Amino acid sequence: MINEVPMLTNVTNEAASCMQVIKHPDKSEWKSLLARPTFDTSSLNDTVSRILTDIRQEGDAAVLRYGEMFDKAVLKELRVTLPEINEAANLLSEDLKEAIHVAAKNIEKFHVSQKFETKKIETTPGVICWQKAVGIEKVGLYIPGGSAPLFSTVLMLAIPAKIAGCKEIILCTPPDKDGNINPAILYAAKMAGATSIFKVGGVQAIGAMAYGTATVPKVYKIFGPGNQYVMAAKQLVSLRDVAIDMPAGPSEVQVIADETANAAFIAADLLSQAEHGADSQVILTTTSEKVIEQVLSEIQVQLALLPRKEIAEKALKHSKAILLKNNEDIIELTNEYAPEHLIIETADYIQLAQQVVNAGSVFLGNYTPESAGDYASGTNHTLPTNGYAKAYSGVNLDSFIKKITFQEISREGIQNLGKTIEVMAENELLYAHKNAVTLRLK
């Protein structure tokens, strides 16, 4: 049975209350234990569908109307002008601009290393096959700009899109009530290679990029995170109008720790995800009760100092510290949970990491915070959540590429392979397929 305890030895009631502490849960209860937080979204799809329908039918007029309704911005023009983009550099500190440059360089270096190399393969004498990687011509990037303007996401999406050779990189992000875009977003967008930027947020941004309007071009694939309305919109338009990067939801992290870990580091890692939103989830897994005690105490110390304390507290209410018997159970539970972010802070982290098969991005050792991947180490921070890491990769260079196959068969090749094709086609009762080969053999 799951043994929920409100307090461990030497942990205050206040500290223990920030996360559920669960000792040695039975495997039959893991599924319910690892359930992500759910919220009432009964009216969400109806609202999203209505907005999308209006945008499909009315175009820019609907986009402007919903922008005024949701972002409180009265706009005359959706496109960000070149003077606005150029002015952004003057509004940022030199430290921030330097940080963006360093992060961009690392992201570029890591994603360039993923370039596909074409190889021609002779599968049968006279039969040559190969693939060519081609950038998706038109991609749309959605960048949230509400409580936290995610200029880092601009780098994570626009840089690989440019490396892939995407011809049009369309970026949509919500304006503030005065109709302005966060200057860090504009600065990053210019540096990373966005070709057009629009003052459009929320569902209306997804609809505009999916259907196209007089101002916003229609794209072939949409990327980027967002709230539950944005996620619902992406999934709805992906049914027939446009491709999307992946299903996604609230942010999450799991930490695997032993007694060699630093409790303050662990607490900071957990809080870094908890502050994303009230629907975020953080999980601590360990074989040590002492680690749980220390981490819970550290969480309270650090939580009190956070500007986003109230948001983090809400996330912690449906987060858990799980005590397990051994590392084998921890790895099994981890692969079942399939976390978006996985941090392994143990003495044998390399050995444990080799056993991980379901995770979005893995951070190894005491000095590798999840924040590094969010910003500047070079890896991509757009990752599968809600267990989708069992089947999806995070965004990478291939996300912006399609691969076209080619084949060339010589006279010798069709002689060598023709009989095989004829037999297979005939047994599938597809005689025109067989005849296409037979004629050539004659």
* Domain tally, the chain: 3
Q: What is the pLDDT of residue 342?
A: 98
Does the pLDDT value for residue 184 go beyond 90?
yes
- Indicate whether 227 and 288 sit together in one domain: no
In a domain, 295, yes or no: yes
Does the pLDDT value for residue 188 go beyond 70?
yes
Does the pLDDT value for residue 10 go beyond 80?
no
The pLDDT tens digits for 48-85 are 999 999 999 999 999 999 999 999 999 999 999 999 99
Distance CA 228, CA 221 (A): 19
- Indicate whether 22 and 49 sit together in one domain: no
273 is in an annotated binding site: yes
Is position 24 annotated as part of the catalytic site? Answer: no
Q: Which of 200, 221, 244 is the last residue of a domain?
A: 244
294 is in an annotated binding site: no
- Indicate whether 173 and 255 sit together in one domain: no
Using CB atoms within 10 Å of the CB of residue 223, give its burial: 0 to 12 exposed, 13 to 18 middle, 19+ buried.
buried
- Residues facing 424 on adjacent strands: none
User: How confident is residue 41, by pLDDT bands cut at 50, 70 and 90?
Assistant: low
Domain membership of residue 123 as a residue range: 44-244
Catalytic entry in 341, 370, 381, 422: 341
User: How confident is residue 248, by pLDDT bands cut at 50, 70 and 90?
Assistant: confident
- Indicate whether 321 and 425 sit together in one domain: no
The pLDDT tens digits for 85-129 are 999 999 999 999 999 999 999 999 999 999 999 999 999 999 999
Q: Determine how many CB atoms are found less than 10 A away from the CB of residue 396.
A: 16
**Residue from 356, 361, 358, 364 nearest 373 by CA:** 361
336 is in an annotated binding site: no
Distance CA 62, CA 66 (A): 6
Domain CATH for 352 = 3.40.50.1980
- Residues facing 128 on adjacent strands: 122, 408
The pLDDT tens digits for 294-316 are 999 999 999 999 999 999 999 99
In a domain, 211, yes or no: yes
**Residue from 206, 200, 135 nearest 164 by CA:** 135
Distance CA 434, CA 413 (A): 16
Q: Which of 244, 269, 286 is the last residue of a domain?
A: 244
The pLDDT tens digits for 137-157 are 999 999 998 667 899 999 999
Catalytic entry in 298, 340, 370, 422: 340
354 is in an annotated binding site: no
- Indicate whether 237 and 286 sit together in one domain: no
Q: What is the pLDDT of residue 250?
A: 86
Q: Tokens in use for 123?
A: 């599968």
**Residue from 192, 153, 149, 196 nearest 171 by CA:** 196
The mean pLDDT of the chain is: 94
In a domain, 104, yes or no: yes
Is position 340 annotated as part of the catalytic site? Answer: yes
Q: Which of 220, 244, 268 is the last residue of a domain?
A: 244
Sign of torsion over alpha carbons 163, 168, 174, 178: positive
- Indicate whether 258 and 378 sit together in one domain: yes
User: How confident is residue 414, by pLDDT bands cut at 50, 70 and 90?
Assistant: very high
In a domain, 402, yes or no: no
